[in-house]
């Protein structure tokens, strides 16, 4: 019998939640017994909630300190956030339930965990509810609501945080981070190990919002190494224009500059090193393509421990100061690229290429008894 899975995601707060959702939707082709319906949680709210969601990009681009304050304040009183969002989305969410009639609900955004659980509880609606955490180490308390049937965590580090927040260990499933299938090469031999005779191709990214000091990174690379540089400015059109004006005239065809692109996997697969901030989605897409990482920084709050996470597993190295790029690259390339090649090997061992499939199978399998119990209660 076909089951309906309702996924509450977001299209307007970065690109990570949408990418995670897409990775799950891809797997439906191999699961005829499930139909997925996706909704942007912010679209369920009134104009106020949409405006709050749309402010994420400008705030994270222009004021990290403001974002840090928002993150800390919302983490202090998560129930206030839940109650506020519940008030804004309740009517439209109940209409959505009536239209879709889901058998299970999965939330991949922290703002819609406690808020939706509040609504279900108050309306006495019994639908199995799952949370899929989209962060790696530092997680909002909003991710950890004891009323969820299960919380799916991409890492043991996030699992430990859930336990700190009072979630029983038996309610947590560690899955790995789900990545869209196009980021996985058909054969890992596609990524050749570095040899000292080759010139470098470096990819500079900073998440979908285009944050970070890309110009200085590019200049240090182009001035000190035999390399080409590809820069992805994301949705930040002003940054793209600025980079084109400042870099193309000086370095010519050694530089390629892109806006938001749908084929980022191709840019990764044809690059030897990727420079990126500590966005979990971008980091894991690079790891899936087996591209060594140099992490240039991280948003305060949910990303701040991600660079250390990468270093602990030898998935990348941290270089926050553009002036230190020369030394960082030189060390990676030393001894015929020994450290760079070790990183390539570590990424291959670390990544779970089946994470999205495992998550979907877990939801379908574990959700079944809760679904049957809900049917009994309704009857």
Q: What is the CATH number of the domain that holds 310?
A: 3.40.50.2000
Do 204 and 227 share a domain, yes or no? yes
Task: Give the pLDDT of residue 348.
Answer: 93
Domain ranges, residue 175: 3-179+353-378
Do 300 and 192 share a domain, yes or no? yes
Q: Against a cut of 0.95, is the pTM above it? A: no
Do 31 and 76 share a domain, yes or no? yes
Task: Give the pLDDT of residue 54.
Answer: 82
Do 152 and 8 share a domain, yes or no? yes
Task: Give the pLDDT of residue 42.
Answer: 92
Do 248 and 312 share a domain, yes or no? yes
Per-residue pLDDT of the chain (379 residues), as tens digits, is 678 999 999 987 877 889 999 999 998 876 668 899 999 999 999 888 888 888 777 777 677 777 777 777 787 788 898 999 999 999 999 999 999 999 999 999 999 999 999 999 999 999 999 999 999 999 989 999 999 999 999 999 999 999 999 999 999 999 999 999 999 987 766 778 887 778 899 999 865 444 558 889 999 999 999 999 999 987 778 888 888 888 988 999 999 999 888 889 999 999 999 999 899 999 999 999 999 999 998 888 889 999 999 999 999 999 999 889 999 999 999 998 899 999 999 999 999 999 999 999 999 888 666 555 555 444 4
Do 223 and 294 share a domain, yes or no? yes
DSSP 8-state assignment for residue 257? E
Do 101 and 145 share a domain, yes or no? yes
Do 268 and 296 share a domain, yes or no? yes
CB 142 within 8 A of CB 111: yes
- Measured distance CA(348)–CA(91) in Å, rounded: 46
140-145: long-range pairs with CB below 8 Å, 24+:
140/71, 140/74, 140/75, 140/78, 140/110, 140/302, 141/75, 141/78, 141/165, 142/74, 142/75, 142/78, 142/81, 142/82, 142/110, 142/111, 142/113, 142/114, 143/110, 143/113, 145/113, 145/114, 145/117
Do 280 and 247 share a domain, yes or no? yes
Task: Give the pLDDT of residue 358.
Answer: 94
- Measured distance CA(6)–CA(228) in Å, rounded: 44
Do 255 and 166 share a domain, yes or no? no
Task: Give the pLDDT of residue 376.
Answer: 47
**H or E stretch covering 239:** helix 237-243
Do 188 and 222 share a domain, yes or no? yes
Cβ neighbors of 266 (< 8 A, separation 6 or more) are: none
Number of domains in the chain: 2
CB 363 within 8 A of CB 104: yes
What is the three-class DSSP state of 263? coil
Do 325 and 289 share a domain, yes or no? yes
């Amino acid at each position: 019998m076909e089951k309906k899975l309702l996924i509450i995601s977001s299209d307007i707060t970065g690109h990570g939640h949408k990418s995670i959702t897409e990775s799950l939707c891809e797997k439906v082709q191999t699961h005829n017994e499930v139909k997925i319906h996706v909704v942007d949680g912010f679209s369920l709210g009134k104009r106020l909630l949409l405006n709050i969601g749309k402010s994420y990009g400008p705030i994270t681009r222009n004021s990290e300190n403001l974002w840090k304050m928002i993150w800390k304040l919302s983490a202090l009183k998560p129930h206030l956030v839940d109650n506020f969002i519940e008030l804004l989305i309740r009517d439209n969410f109940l209409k959505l339930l009536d239209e879709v009639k889901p058998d299970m609900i999965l939330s991949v955004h922290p703002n819609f965990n406690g808020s939706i659980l509040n609504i279900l509880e108050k309306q006495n609606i019994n639908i199995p509810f799952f949370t899929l955490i989209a962060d790696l180490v530092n997680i909002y308390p909003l991710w950890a609501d004891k009323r969820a049937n299960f919380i799916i965590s991409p890492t043991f580090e996030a699992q430990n945080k859930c336990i700190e927040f009072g979630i029983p260990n038996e309610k947590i499933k560690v899955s790995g981070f789900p990545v869209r299938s196009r980021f996985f090469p058909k054969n890992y031999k596609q990524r050749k190990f570095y040899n000292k005779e080759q010139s470098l191709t470096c990819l500079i990214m900073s998440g979908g919002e285009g944050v970070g000091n890309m110009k200085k990174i590019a200049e240090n690379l182009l001035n000190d190494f035999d390399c080409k540089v590809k820069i992805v400015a994301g949705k930040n059109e002003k940054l793209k224009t600025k980079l084109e004006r400042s870099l193309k005239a000086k370095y010519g065809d050694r530089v390629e500059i892109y806006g938001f692109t749908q084929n980022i996997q191709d840019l990764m697969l044809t690059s030897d090193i990727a420079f990126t901030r500590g966005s979990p989605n971008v980091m894991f897409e690079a790891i899936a393509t087996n591209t060594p990482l140099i992490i240039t920084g991280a948003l305060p709050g949910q990303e701040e421990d991600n660079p250390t996470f990468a270093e602990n597993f030898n998935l990348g190295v941290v270089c926050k100061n553009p002036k230190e790029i020369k030394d960082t690259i030189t060390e990676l390339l030393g001894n015929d690229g020994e450290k760079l090649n070790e990183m390539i090997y570590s990424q291959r061992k670390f990544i779970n290429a089946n994470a999205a499939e495992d998550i979907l199978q877990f939801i379908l399998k574990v959700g079944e008894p809760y679904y049957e119990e809900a049917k009994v209660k309704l009857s």
